[in-house]
Chains A and B, each alone.
Chain A
Amino acid sequence: GENVEQHPSTLSVQEGDSAVIKCTYSDSASNYFPWYKQELGKGPQLIIDIRSNVGEKKDQRIAVTLNKTAKHFSLHITETQPEDSAVYFCAAFTSGNTPLVFGKGTRLSVIA
């Protein structure tokens, strides 16, 4: 089955700097890759996603890139702000009713 590896597990950046979180997946049939942000004590929230027929997607300060050949995808946050501090999860989806496979998460701390 699918396996998703996420790095780094923790990341600290200065406010205004960029943050990059990387994930790799094992199943070449995976075709949908969402990213979630989880704030303390809350459920994860979908922040951006990308499909296998797209190489990059942007939404304001957040972007996701996908390299199907290498089977990895990354989350990029520019001009980080303290409110970006949270745990971020990547995930991969293959088909049908198979559940999303999540990475283990990255704790991002933005230092003011």
Chain B
Amino acid sequence: SQTIHQWPATLVQPVGSPLSLECTVEGTSNPNLYWYRQAAGRGLQLLFYSVGIGQISSEVPQNLSASRPQDRQFILSSKKLLLSDSGFYLCAWWTGGGYGYTFGSGTRLTVV
């Protein structure tokens, strides 16, 4: 079956520290992968998406970067976190075929 794993579930990091969030997908190949951020009580903001290994599209200029070192792995990074980076980060995948995205369970990041 197709599953998506996202970790960690929660993270508290000091301002200026680095960040690495990982997302992996199982049971599918060559998926499109997405990183979204959701501020408290707000909508889904698309940060990055990838249609293949090494291919990253950035939707919003910011303090974050993304990488896709393997077909089913998507990583969200920051060299130095800001307070404004706090939020709920969601990874999603899509294999086309007219079905909606499948979201991971999310990582709640609090920058202190």
Contacts and interface: CB of A to CB of B under 8 A. Distances in A.
Interface of A: 32, 34, 36, 41-46, 49, 51, 89, 91, 97, 99-100, 102-105, 107
**What interface size band does chain B fall in?**
20 to 34
Given A42-B106, A44-B103, A32 B98 contact: yes
Interface of B: 6, 32, 34, 41-44, 46, 49, 51, 59, 90, 92, 94, 98-106, 108
Given A43-B90, A46-B101, 20 more contacts: A32-B98, A32-B100, A34-B100, A34-B101, A36-B100, A41-B106, A43-B6, A43-B104, A44-B44, A44-B90, A44-B103, A51-B98, A89-B43, A89-B44, A97-B49, A99-B46, A100-B100, A100-B101, A105-B42, A105-B43
22 contacts: A34-B100, A34-B101, A42-B105, A42-B106, A43-B6, A44-B90, A44-B103, A45-B103, A46-B102, A89-B43, A89-B44, A91-B100, A97-B32, A97-B51, A99-B46, A99-B49, A100-B100, A102-B44, A103-B43, A104-B42, A104-B43, A107-B41
